[in-house]
Amino acid sequence: MRTSVSSMPSGTSSADISAQVKKFSAHRAVQNSRIVSQGMQLNRRYERKNELTCMGCHNPHKANRRKASTPYVSGLLEGVSGIDRNGMNVASATYEYEVCFKCHADYTSDFPYTPRVIVNSNLRLAFDVVNPSYHPVVGMGKNFNVPSIPSSFYPTLRVSSVITCTDCHKDDEGGSKGPHGSSFPPILGERYETSDFTTESYQHYALCYRCHDRDSILNDESFRKKIDRRTATGGGHSGHLENGAPCSACHDAHGVVDDGISGSHTHLINFDTRIVRPKPGSERPIFTDKGTFSGGCTLLCHGKLHNDLSY
């Protein structure tokens, strides 16, 4: 069944939502009005309130085609309840993320998509602006020296920009901007490989390269190789990608809640524990921020020991 927008202003188009929610990764209603996203059961609190249906995100009496001005809700989300950045209920969401926080914050039953040193599935906490790093969803980012921004695909993006959840989580075919379904888990608009030994290509990391210029990343403009003949290869972003380390091996895309004991977590550093392991005798892999474009790692990765290996 194709969704109808006959009540919407003329000149708008419909999207086949029923096809999107059948994709490999999707928000889809199942028995007892439960929603499953890539096998994850979400938020029984809102299930009991019958909000894990279309009406969890859309108010049929107030929805309209007013375009959103980031980070505010669009007309399609108008009149929908939410959870604000402080964890408080709001009767009508002002910001898009407040709608998402109903299921993906304090009352989530999500499991971490990638195992990390710091484990956190509460996205309200992940995006908190007190964190050492986060993608700028709830507020503007902290790092104003990001050479890979803007990219050729997103030339208007600035380090001071704020983005929305649906900049990343949406239909991969462009049928709608909403996170109804995608071929790329978890409901991503473009491919984002997280497997170890992935070959570097634009296609494999299209989600990252949409905002972060690929040439800048591969030229090591922000993560520079150590000036040492013994480590002339393998360092920097280019060397790690060349050796099959995916972006997700080091970077936790939403944000990192600092635990105060596992090193620095600037630059979204929160290691994938399937790939990056502690130095023998240590409890956890450690990254230490040493200033602008400078840091050191103490860990074991791909069989190579990093003993405060600095760049």
For the chain, 311 residues long, the average pLDDT of each consecutive 10-residue run is 36 75 86 40 38 83 94 96 97 98 90 93 97 98 96 96 97 93 96 98 98 97 71 76 97 96 97 98 96 95 94 88
The long-range contacts involving 72-80, CB below 8 angstroms and separated by at least 24 positions, are 72/96, 73/98, 73/99, 76/178, 80/56
Specify burial of residue 103 (Cβ count, 10 A radius: 0-12, 13-18, 19+).
buried
Q: Which residues 6+ apart lie within 8 Å of 174 measured at CB? A: none
The secondary structure element, H or E, covering residue 211 is helix 206-211
Give pLDDT, residue 32: 47
Class of residue 218 by CB neighbours under 10 A (exposed 0-12, middle 13-18, buried 19+): middle
Give per-residue pLDDT as tens, 188-197: 999 999 999 9
Using CA atoms, how far apart are residues 80 and 83, in angstroms rounded to an integer?
10
Q: Can you read off the two tokens belonging to residue 262?
A: 């596992």
pLDDT of 23 reads 95
pLDDT at 108: 85
- C-alpha neighbours within 13 Å on the C-beta side of residue 79: 11
